[in-house]
Structure 1
């Protein structure tokens, strides 16, 4: 991805600080959209039907997800798939309004691979924490891409849409990691180890949300852990983990300054799995809490 980072403003149609009814799901020309929604205590949603695939990740809250004749309980961390043309609605529990991210993928993308499309059914994913984390990570990257003013935004969104489809239909994190490693190997055959790491460091500026472990990063580049860590420190003056955390915190600072997103959403979109870890890391690296940083930034 290239292009100047341009976070969505508070009044963006893809983001809503607090809503009393379901948001409009109008897809862009490339057919992929990620919505972020935070429900007010009196949120109410009527039944709706849409012609696109919908993947819903609940960041927090609890209640009932209704789809056709199914009524399934949800809580933070749960993922639901809604197939095209299936009736659906969200009913928050009393005192537990939900916050969620919704990935919408148009029929034309699905029709490119009919066999996969035929296997998509409305359901609650039962793949456990690893599958839920995969979906959360993919949606996080998609909304980051969506916010970029880059000419490749549509293409990048479609690529991630297929990753998301694969993640909710036949998830295998081992195969996914191997595929990424295989894709990168051919292009890197002609580069020295130092050049490979140098390019990785440049790309990390926009791909830090995909970073998982140092071993995964080394494997992706087809380098030993020892070689990767040595070259990374030599070129950056810091460790891989420290650099990934710094990039996440820098992104969080931009979101706190330029949007009115809830801090829980800022944490999620900056790559943190839980808000307590985010608070701890942000305070340690910035010297004040996220709330205090936002307040100081708005007072300038």
Structure 2
């Protein structure tokens, strides 16, 4: 069973808020990962592929995917060149949100909280495909609250929006996520998704060309035309992205990280990493840790000032 990096709430969440909103632009080499929190991923713009566990589906603007802790997933834009933006709005919910709700000085009615509590307990991914703008408006309001600082400072305004959001999407948890008809599908997506999921292994160009039933030479030409880079360039980019995440979210040594991503020549690994990031692995990790600690100190100071 493949194990993918875990994005941790400790790194991603503001300590004052049980909710974090983040807008991301997905790329062909986006990292397959897991979380230790619930993520609601809403497609703001574009079309693409979503891989969740062993399930693969085509998604488009207006779709929302609910990803529980421990389920690996990744988005990939439909356009393999990256010319057409594929934007995802991430609404991340802390696992302890249910406990926080129960400890509020003025508790909400149980029937109001129930859909949100059930959402926090989901074990399998599910999708919601809404036809109205209601979902987008709710997420936009929450994002605006975070942007102006009130998401952290006034939780009483946030919780009713979360209750409304959960009430809207939870009925979809019991339904299959219907594939959108009329969307094109390029078999090279399967090749790249395989690379993203099996980058630790020795996956050769010849093996990949067999997946789409063409010769190695045809595969190389097709790959370069459709993605703008060679097969080897993309494979090494995927490996470097995972290396960065392992430096960020684990305490593994550099040699262990190189082995984790399928590179056994340390000189080659250091060269690739410097070309990709502009610095050594140690410098990259130190820079991240310094930034993380500074952010924590700033939040801590803000909390003390507010008391």
TM-score under structure 1 length normalisation = 0.36
Instruction: Kindly name which structure, 1 or 2, has the bigger radius of gyration based on alpha carbons.
Output: 2
